Structure 1
Amino acid sequence: MSASDLHPSDASGLSTPAGTRRRFFQWVTSAAAGLIGLSLAIPLVGYVISPALKRRAQSWVDVAALDELSVGKPKQVDYVATVQDGYLETKTQKAVWAVKQADGQVTVFSPMCTHLGCGYHWNEGEQKFKCPCHGSVFDLSGRVVGGPAPRPLDALPSKTENGRLLVMYKEFKSGATGQVEL
């Protein structure tokens, strides 16, 4: 094998380069097209996927008139909530326990027992919230007075406007010693 077989040369003795101008421009064009495609694909993928990664939007929900609540007497308030989860919007029936204090403030409790998430009720005779599933018992302020519940009842954010009670519904992990929002 001679040196002339490795590098073709013309009559003047000069050798041609291994790549050609055409191949270089094909490479540059392909790289530019790939870069443009990638720069368009990233925002598109983000636009399509981002709603699935967002946390559910929470808003204030009007649940009751303050006149409907009696001081020191818990009342279970039912309402319909609209939940926006990504692209999906659903309406669900929810309930909370509202307790009006003597000073007019209202404490709103999640309807789920902090032990395992069961629904509890107000026992008028004993003046306590009782969970029928596992025996947890809570006083009027939500403190644990008996049973396996690891923490007090979960108080929900609430406010009053124009004589109406507004609540921001949240769900918390059952069985944990501290509030862990889901």
Structure 2
Amino acid sequence: MRRGIFILCLSKIIVSAYEIGVPKITSVSALDPVGFFIQWKGVTSFNKDPVLGYKIRLWKVEEDSQGYLKLVNGEEIPGLLLEDRALEPVDKVKTPKAQPREVVINNVSTQKAKVYNVNYNTLYEIRILAYKMNEDGPLSEPARVKIMKGDAYFILIQKRPGEDCAVSIATNVTISDEPYYHLETVYF
């Protein structure tokens, strides 16, 4: 009986030693021209069944935008308020419905990448996985990011699961040669 338990435990240890770990996104920064600089904590690779690299997946997340006039900053001046809300909530397990774009990093020791050809004022969800010859590992937890750009501002907004994120950006805009205070609020 003891011999059977020992063999079962030993086989479980051997199988789990070859499972692919989960990378962890440590930071996302904005690049110019528009893009993301992504850094992550890598996974352990074994010689008999090595991890070959990483796959970065980017989903565009649909948003609902609403605009209305309101007094801004408690003053008697009307301002245009815009609110963007993600139509799909951030989830540690479920990915967005859209088809992801994939960037492949063919080096397991690389733990950073630059991803270009993204759009301003578009919400993205980023996840990373490690891969072997015939197997993809589990996806990392998501990071939701948006590079916002207007006439008078440029900002990167980031959200991770379990964290609330609502960012307001105040600017001045001119419509038909009249100045308006503009406050944009983004919720993830």
Query: What TM-score, normalized by structure 1, do the two folds share?
Result: 0.26
Which one has the bigger strand percentage?
Answer: 2
Which one has the bigger helix percentage?
Answer: 1
Query: What TM-score, normalized by structure 2, do the two folds share?
Result: 0.26
> Of the two structures, which has the highest relative contact order with CA contacts closer than 8 Å and spacing of 6 or more?
2
Bigger Cα Rg: 1
